[in-house]
Structure 1
Amino acid sequence: MPQIVVDEAADAAYVYIGTREEKREFGRTEPLLNESNGMVNLDFDVDGHLIGIELIPASHFLRSQDR
């Protein structure tokens, strides 16, 4: 099940695919969206599987009750 971790001070969120405790070796980051009002990055492991999604600013992408 995905887990969302929010850094309120940085207004950033990271959505872990699977669990945060899973040790999957990081491979690469692919920018999905990079505009003046927000940025979304996809993180993949060395085998090319999606391991996480970074959302900046979190307030743009998530409702306040989800942060």
Structure 2
Amino acid sequence: MADVRITYDKSVDAAYVCLTEPQARVKSACMYPRDPVDVDGMINLDFDEQGRLIGIEVLAASSKLPEYSLRSADRLDTDGA
């Protein structure tokens, strides 16, 4: 199973699930937002120039992702707690 990297910033309650290889420097060519009304939080899907899904941004992440995923995520906020 491939490793999936998750980053999390608790100060803004946002997480990013990166689906590319850790060494890859892939830029997002387009982003498709998911209506917050439908999911009670914003979820954005990032695709590369070939149309492959490369990442998922999750706002209001603490209510959308399992707690263990956020605990093990690379922290981007300054407090790290």
Instruction: Note whether the superposition's TM-score is higher than 0.5.
Output: yes
TM-score (norm 2): 0.71
% identity of equivalent residues? 36
Secondary structure, counterpart of 1:26 in structure 2: coil
TM-score (norm 1): 0.84
Q: Pick from 8, 11, 18 the counterpart of residue 10 of structure 2.
A: 8
Higher helix share: 2
Moved over 6 A (4+): none
1 or 2 for the larger relative contact order (CA 8 Å, sep ≥6)? 2
Which residue of structure 1 lines up, in the alignment, with residue 66 of structure 2?
A: 63
Higher strand share: 1
Structure 1 or 2, whichever has the larger Rg, is: 2
Let me know the Cα RMSD of the aligned residues.
1.7
The question of whether the paired residues in 1 share the 8 Å contact of 2:20 and 2:26 is answered with no
Aligned length: 67
Gaps of 5+ in 2: 71-81
Quote the offset at 1:20 in angstroms: 4.0
Structure 1 residues 63 and 51 mapped into 2: Cα distance closer, same or farther (>3 Å)? same
